[in-house]
Copies of this chain bind each other. A is one copy, B any other.
Amino acid sequence: MDRSDDDTAATARVSDVSGAAKVIAYVRDKLISGAFKPGDRLPGERDLCAQLGISRPLLREGLRALSVLGLVEVQQGRGTTVGRADIGALGDALVFCLAQEPNVVEDVLQVRTAIECQAIRLACTSASDADLAEINDKLETLVGSLQDPERGGIADHAFHLAIVKASRSPSLITMYRAIEPLLMRSHVQRRRLVIPDQDVTLHLVDSHREVFVAIVNGDPDEAERKMREHFQISARLHRARFLKMARGDTERAGAR
């Protein structure tokens, strides 16, 4: 979000706020208050711009901004409706935005860690038998796909998502889904950069299993600890690629 607009949007009733920001604030207030629900039809553009006291092109600017975030859907001849909270669209927008920002993507992993560590604690007490079966299923799939970066990345993510779902917290799940495309991309890229190695693979499988066992045992502290260990192992694996790359460079220099 453009920050200057964001700050001023918070005081949308002040008359010096830009026109498009008025639209954003109007819709924001209605969404947060619950007055607008998914599928609701907004007033027509001519009515809405009269209501907000701005011109139609400005109104359209604001609506365009909201539509790019999936918060409204604008259709010619039909009108503008409140979006159905399309988390996937949000995640795709994020991938588009952050494709060139590897440092930001690394930091987003902090959010991932936060969510998963809270989720696994909740899963220890909230997970149903079906949830546990689902996680186990994803674990088996993961084990069977460790040699393939694409399928491995997908399976890894599915395992983690199953744990988040087992938390039974809608907010955590929503949040996780928002960063999902980024995580997927990150998983797959990381796997492409690392040559699979027997020891590492087994170690990784064990780590996933220990996470699952901790959930089944139902001890939140233990489960969180295992999850954090798991992330550390992954991070070490990621860092190990630099050693291999460094050795690779040395060998090339020697060959000249």
Contacts and interface: CB of A to CB of B under 8 A. Distances in A.
A100 B85 contact: yes
A67 B172 contact: no
A65 interface: yes
B175 A175 contact: yes
B70 A93 contact: yes
A100 B37 contact: yes
21 contacts: A1-B70, A2-B68, A3-B89, A28-B96, A31-B100, A32-B95, A32-B96, A62-B64, A68-B68, A69-B96, A69-B97, A71-B97, A85-B97, A86-B101, A87-B97, A87-B104, A94-B174, A98-B174, A101-B170, A111-B172, A114-B114
Given A85-B104, A110-B122, A118-B110, A178 B65 contact: no
Contacts of A32: 95-96, 99, 181
A137 interface: no
A213 to B, nearest CB: 21
A218 to B, nearest CB: 17
Interface in A181-218: 181
A244 interface: no
Instruction: Give how many copies assemble into the complex.
Output: 2
B37 A104 contact: no
A110 B2 contact: no
Contacts of A118: 110-111, 113-114, 117
A73 interface: yes
A89 B67 CA distance: 12
A34 interface: yes
B68 A69 contact: yes
A151 B182 CA distance: 38
Contacts of A73: 2
Contact of A64 (B65, B98, B110, B122): B65
A74 interface: yes
A219 interface: no
Contacts of A24: 68
Contact of A90 (B67, B86, B93, B122): B93
Given A6-B92, A90-B90, A118-B117, A170 B68 contact: no
Nearest to A106: B171
A11 interface: no
A178 B97 contact: yes
